[in-house]
Amino acid sequence: MMIELNEMVMPGIYTSIAEWIACLIFIYCSPRRLKGWKLAFVLLATLLVLIAVNEKRVHTYGLPWFGFMALGLAAMYACICLCAGQSWLEACYTWANAFVLAEFVASLTWEAVYYFSLRMQGSISRNLLIMIALYTICFALAWLFEKRPWREPKTIHARGWDTGSAVIIAIAVFSISNISFAFQDTLYAQSLGVGMLTVRTVVDFAGLMLLYAHKENLREVQLRFELESMNKLFHSQYEQYHRYRENDEIIKKQYHDLKHQIAMIRAERDPKKQEHYLARLNESLELYETQHKTGNPVVDTMLSGQSMRCREKGIQLISYADAAQLDFVSAMDLCSIFGNALDNAIECVENIKDPEKRQITVYVYVKNQFIIIRFENFYNQPLHFKDGLPITTKRNQVLHGYGIRNIRENARKYGGNVNIHAEDGCFQLLVLLPIKQNTH
């Protein structure tokens, strides 16, 4: 029996709606660029374009068929690019995912409609019922999978290579599954008959799984990379601490030498030489002025070390700190908190021209049974926040921004919390730690 191929061609509306919903899901699950009526407008326009293009496409074959297909795909890409806050490369990656998802859902649904309704001359309402049911189930599953709240990291950054492979997968899947529909007179199409629908669904499903696996892999690689970067920074602060401690020893030695110098000046008769010695004495004293005494040796070393760094940059680092009760925090964690917070503050203050505003203040005090560490500095550039943390002003966003996240991790380890405020040109980083009695 010859099967009329035309009967098996999916109406354009199935593809259009599936493509549109797939776009919606991926836009919903990513940060958005457009909001409110602008978003609604772009989405509505995309839907209309998709319906129009796909309606035209199903009545053609060969080259024009591909032309209309490409137009529809371009509309999807434009929609994602406009609505989701992603770079064009990332949008391309998202687009490949959305496209294969839409292909699969539309193909599965159409197959079901064909088998359970069309073949038996079913009514339009039955077609519609099958379509609504399957679309709801499939897209709900896809949405849940995409939106899983526990997955880390929340956003993944697809690079050129990742996007390239995703697009190749999408194109491969599409060409294998649709070749017989595009060229309906080929032998391939004739020999498969109704089985063509199943072949298409299965191929689309395989493509979808391939893309999901690819994405999960990407997420894993990114997570590992982030953990490694944070760890590296964490350790570098500790190494810095050891360097500062060596410096500290030198300063302490110099302090003892001062007494000898004073004796020398007393003995010196030549006023010129005496003046010279006095000037040198003053220099040594200034070095000692950068010393901080807070009651915790690690905090002292970190503050004094960073003080010297600040001095070279013409920044004043001042402290009003009672850190005697901070012993329950390990030296490594203290280095990470103070090192990262001060690095962050220095970076911020460095850009300020007004010398009176090149100033960082550190407060440490006890309130109730909590210790509060507060870093305050002026800032002059607008800051943008994401998840309560400022987005790094450094160029490479993938690499930086781990400093404050490190502090947050440290605070959480002790059951504490980190907040950030930027108001009236004053930046404040607050660390709250519940005081625990030292057990070791």
Partner 1 sequence: MLHIAIVEDDPKYQRELQTAVERYARKHKELIRTSIFSDGDEILENYTANYDIILLDIQMRRMDGMRAAERIRELDTNVILVFVTQMVNFAVQGYAVNAMDFLIKPISYPSMERVLRKAVALCKKHTQYITVPTSKGLLRLDAQKIYYFESFSHRIIVHAEEGKEYQLRETMRKMEETFGPHGFFRCNNCYLVNLSFVESVELGTVVVAGHQLAISRPRRKAFMEALTNYLGGIKV
Give the interface with partner 1 as residue ranges (CB under 8 A).
Answer: 289-295, 303, 307, 316-322, 324, 354, 356-357, 359, 365-370, 372, 374, 376, 378, 388, 415, 417-419, 421, 424, 426, 428, 430, 432, 434
Structure tokens at 380: 């002059």
Work out how close the CB of 13 gets to partner 1 at its nearest, in angstroms, rounded to a whole number. 41
**DSSP classification of residue 390:** E
Q: In the bound complex, what is the minimum distance in angstroms from residue 431's beta carbon to partner 1?
A: 8
Nearest to 108 by CA among 206, 26, 1: 206
Do residues 370 and 435 make contact, with C-beta atoms less than 8 angstroms apart? yes
Instruction: Determine phi and psi for 52, rounding to 5 degrees.
Output: -60, -50
Please write down the long-range contacts of 5-11, taking CB distance under 8 Å and 24 or more positions apart. Answer: 5/184, 5/189, 6/184, 7/118, 8/114, 8/194, 8/196, 8/197, 9/58, 9/181, 10/58, 10/106, 10/107, 10/110, 11/58
Nearer to partner 1 by Cβ, of 133 and 324: the residue is: 324
Structure tokens at 98: 């959305």
Shortest Å distance, C-beta 210 to partner 1? 37
Instruction: Answer whether 21's CB lies under 8 Å from 102's CB.
Output: yes
Q: Which is nearer to partner 1, 338 or 378 (CB)?
A: 378
Kindly tell me which of 117 and 301 has the beta carbon lying closer to partner 1: 301
Residues 6 or more apart in contact with residue 73 via CB below 8 angstroms: 95, 99
Shortest Å distance, C-beta 134 to partner 1: 34
* Residue closer to partner 1 (CB basis): 99 or 379: 379
At residue 222, φ and ψ (nearest 5 deg) are -65, -40
Q: Considering the complex, what minimum distance in angstroms separates the CB of residue 241 from partner 1?
A: 18
Q: Which of 39, 171, 35 is nearest to 92 (CA)?
A: 171
Angle of helix 402-413 relative to helix 331-349, nearest 10 degrees, comes to 150
CB of 376 to partner 1, least distance (A): 7
412 vs 418: CA distance, rounded Å = 8
Q: In angstroms, give the least distance from the CB of 382 to partner 1.
A: 18
Rounded Cα gap, residues 345 and 427, in angstroms: 9
| CB nearer to partner 1: pick between 208 and 349 | 349
Closer of 254 and 417 to partner 1 (Cβ): 417
* Measured torsion, CA atoms of residues 269, 272, 278, 279, in degrees rounded to the nearest 10: -170
Report the nearest approach of partner 1 to the CB of residue 430 (Å). Answer: 4
To partner 1, the closest distance from the beta carbon of 386 in angstroms equals: 16
* Cα 375-381-383 angle, rounded to 5 deg: 70
CA distance 358 to 178: 65
CB of residue 300 to partner 1, shortest distance in Å: 9
For partner 1, the closer of residues 10 and 321 by Cβ is 321
In terms of CB distance, is 55 or 322 closer to partner 1?
322
Which one, 45 or 432, has the nearer CB to partner 1? 432
From residue 53, give the alpha-carbon distance in Å to each of 13, 49, 57, 170, 288. 10, 6, 6, 20, 76
Q: Which is nearer to partner 1, 214 or 292 (CB)?
A: 292
User: Any bridge partners for residue 321, and if so which?
Assistant: 364
